[in-house]
Structure 1
Amino acid sequence: MAGEIPLRNIWLLFLYAADLVQYKNSFERDVEAARDLPDLVGRLIAHVVEQRLRRNLSRGYRTRAAVLPRVRGRIDMLATETGQLMERGQVACQFQEHVMDTPRNRMVRAALDRLAARISEPETAHRCRSLAADFSRVGVANKRPSRAELGLDQIGRNERTDRMMVALARMVFDDTIPTETMGSTFQPGTDASEHLIRRLFERAVGNALRLELEPQGWRIAQGRRIDWPVDVSTLGMPPILPGMQTDIELNNPATGRRIIIDTKFTRILTSSNFRGEILKSGYLYQIYAYLRTQERNSDPPSLTAEGILLHPQVGGAVDETMIVQGHQISVRTIDLTADASEFEASLRQLVRLANSTSLRNESVGGEIAQLLF
């Protein structure tokens, strides 16, 4: 199924997922030439890094301690006296060095090393390998920084190229690019491609909604784990109880409205022997469980939370809604084979849905009333 989606639309999903949608009209040549998403990321990061190296990498300050023949920075009196350094004409100092070995540059070098080992396209892999060597020559260490280190290395408004480099590097280490590492990552191939694009789809929709809705007072959460409302259980039940995790959750504190969106990268309908095409029951049960298990009187939005099953469009479009035990549940499709403007229009339709009043008293209520009266 992934092969039916044009690469340009995968590129658009990638941009939304990486919070880089402002670059959607850039790098068209690299987008067209890329064989797959890892190759695309490698081409993009290589292009941006080559531009950055022409103007020199950004520098940062690093604290260093050393024994010197003259004072530099602050004197470490304890180390100086303990080592009796002054008798030998030396002094222990702590000072700031202006270096290129910053967390952001180490992150980019680590990403280049990883991509060089995993990209199947020889030319792109060679570019990544050469650029990683260039980083080494200017003193950037081959050590991936921690999240805390990256958090302290704030990127300024004018450092546009650095922002692009770091965002691409984060994607490499964020399970969005498939790898061959044993464990929780994914082998290249059909299954990996399906998982990869589903992850891109989920993150792209979530980030698009965040960009549009957060300025309007909404709170957007992605990947929130929720618990089963267990009152009593045997000792062996908790270890075998499956976990629950929502894909996207929208909350509006001002209106008390909550919407849970579950994204799937599969057909929304399946064939039935007796009724033609019907909704896949497992997905419907899943969104129902997300809504009903979280009901709590102490949390009023949970009592009327809405659910949306969002799938890519395969065949005809689907846009239907029902109310089940006080919860509005919608099933919708979005066309990923359309051009970029149509795809973004579909995302904006989701935004309009989130901003509109509940359908409970409008179209659905009207249809039910017509049936009853």
Structure 2
Amino acid sequence: MTFAAANLISDAHEGIGRIGRIPVRNLWLLMLYASDLFRDLEKAKIAVEDNPDDIADLVAEMLCRRVERHIQRNLSYGYQSREAVLGRVRGRIDLLNTERNRLLDRGKVACRFDELTIDTARNRYVRTALEEISKIVLRGALAHQCRSLAASLRRMGVAGERPSRGEVSIDRFGRHDADDQPMVAAAHLAFNLALPTESAGAKQLSLPDREITWIRKLYEKGIAGFYDVVLSQRGWRVGAGKTIGWQVESKSVGIDKILPSMRTDIILDNSDAGRRIVIDTKFNSVVTRGWYREETLRSGYVYQIYAYLRSQEGNGDPLSENASGLLLHPSVSDMVNEAVVIQNHEIRFATVDLGATAMEIREQLLHVLE
């Protein structure tokens, strides 16, 4: 499957678009898997895979419920830096502007101060999320509820523009406002769901490199999030983005500067079953054209997963001695699930069909671990 050459096309039957050959609803599914909300849904026994088209509605309901709760309890306030010319000193005096504009002659002074306000970047982010997700939900009453809550926030004083990514990324939660985290998590997911459908007009756009990068990261985070939530309930310990070390016996002075580290995407451990699975997600086709045959596995990936497995032998961890590896690629329709055992380590090469139904995707992700 070649993603870079794919286009965003519409699905007239379902009214749901595609990015490349991937249905947007399956991107929504990956976004949900990658979010903190998926854990809450699993605990509540809500099977999102049964109705993937309702994911946007489900997220909107959770966002509305959490916003309503915060409105009843009062929204969090925050301090905002301001500059103003005042008749009395407030905060710090801006000497340069005071002298330059001869403000003292008029009994004024330029000040810089922090002001307590409800119009914080966090609250503006939540309000804008309500406005955005109201455009993609299926139920008219729910869309009206989202817009109504957004209007309520505006009337309360949350009237500023949507905050930038930088403003949102530096927002930190303290002990006094930790209750805001679930609401902000729902808002973040709402924004992500709106991304593939926010283009003007309908769904006829090319797929630029930045979208490929975004989907690649989403695929990796979605797979890790799914396994973390689902397998943790079954006795597995899930680690994402772990770095494993080389068992170095001796080294030269400068080797540390140039020796690459080994960073795994996902490691699954089950001590009771005596199993460890090292997973590397790759956002390209599982096979490529070879020199002497039509199709061949990508040799660099084979060497990589082999190094991950063999380099950990003899480190005192019994799970490392017979750990297995899984290279998990996306596909649309073309399914691969092949394995080989090399020096006591099974290495599996498999695909997950992102063009399948949501329930089939869930089953495939679990089946490749059997």
TM-score normalised by the shorter chain: which range applies? 0.5 to 0.7
**What's the CA shift for 1:242?**
2.2
Aligned to 2:228: 210
CA displacement 1:322-363 (0-9 Å, x = unmatched): 111111111111111011121122123245x2xxxxxxxxxx
| Match 2:238 to one of 220, 226, 229 | 220
Q: CA deviation at 1:56?
A: 2.1
Identify which range, 268-277 or 312-321, moves more after superposition.
312-321
Q: How does 1:1-373 map to 2 (within 5 A)?
A: 1=3, 3-21=20-38, 22=41, 24=48, 28=53, 48=63, 52=67, 56=71, 58-59=73-74, 107=122, 109-110=124-125, 134=154, 137=157, 144=168, 149=173, 153-155=177-179, 163=182, 165-170=183-188, 190-314=208-332, 316-350=334-368, 353=370
Instruction: Give distance in 1, aligned partners of 2:156 and 2:76.
Output: 18
The DSSP-based 3-state class of the residue aligned with 1:272 is: coil
**What do residues 93-146 of structure 1 show as CA deviations (whole Å, max 9, x unaligned)?**
xxxxxx9969xx754535778999xxxx9xxxxx9xx87983982599986586
Deviations 1:214-273 (A, max 9, x none): 122210011111222233333332222223211111011223321111111110000123
Q: 1:298 to 1:270 in 2, by over 3 A?
A: same
Secondary structure of the residue aligned to 1:233 is: coil
Query: Would you say the 8 A contact 1:46–1:131 is kept in 2?
Result: no
Offset from partner CA, 1:45-102 (integer Å, 9 cap, x none): 79946983698264378999xxxxxxxxxxxxxxxxxxxxxxxxxxxxxxxxxx9969
Deviation per CA, 1:179-233: give whole Å up to 9, x if none. Answer: xxxxxxxxx9622222222222222222222222212221001111122223333
Q: Distance in 1 between matches of 2:212 and 2:218?
A: 10
Kindly tell me the number of residue pairs found equivalent between the two proteins: 280
CA distance in 1: counterparts of 2:52 and 2:293, whole angstroms: 47
Aligned to 1:230, the other structure's residue is in SS state: coil
Note if contact 1:312-1:334 (Cα within 8 Å) is conserved in structure 2: yes
The SS at the match of 1:56 is helix
> Which fold has the larger relative contact order, with Cα–Cα distance below 8 Å and residues 6 or more apart in sequence?
2
Amino acid of the structure 1 residue aligned with 2:173: E
* Separation (CA, whole Å) in 1 of partners of 2:335 and 2:156: 52
Distance 1:237 1:168, change over 3 A: farther
Contact 1:109/1:132, CA 8 A, preserved across alignment:
no
Normalising by the residue count of structure 1, what TM-score does the alignment of the two structures yield? 0.60
Task: Name the SS for the 2:252 alignment partner.
Answer: coil
Kindly state the Cα deviation for residue 274 of structure 1 after the two structures are TM-superposed.
1.5
Task: Give the partner amino acid of 2:225.
Answer: N
How far apart in 2 are the matches of 1:14 and 1:335? 16
Three-state SS of the structure 1 residue aligned to 2:242 is strand
**Cα separation, partners in 2 of 1:310 and 1:192, compared to 1, 3 Å:** same
**What TM-score comes out, normalization by structure 2 length?**
0.60
- Checking the alignment, whether the CA contact within 8 Å between 1:101 and 1:140 is kept in structure 2 is no
Q: 1:57/1:228 Cα in 2 relative to 1: closer, same or farther (>3 Å)? A: farther
Unaligned runs of 5+ in 2: 4-18, 80-115, 137-146, 197-205
CA contact (8 A) 1:58 1:100 kept: no
Which residue does the alignment assign to 2:82?
none
Partner Cα separation in structure 2 for residue 271 and residue 144 of structure 1? 44
Distance 1:53 1:302, change over 3 A: same
Alpha carbons of 1:236 and 1:337: their partners in 2 closer, same or farther (altered >3 Å)?
A: same
Matches of 2:247 and 2:318, distance apart in 1: 16
Aligned equivalents of 1:191, 1:296: Cα separation in 2: 42
With over 3 angstroms needed to count, the CA separation of the structure-2 counterparts of 1:145 and 1:153, relative to structure 1, is farther
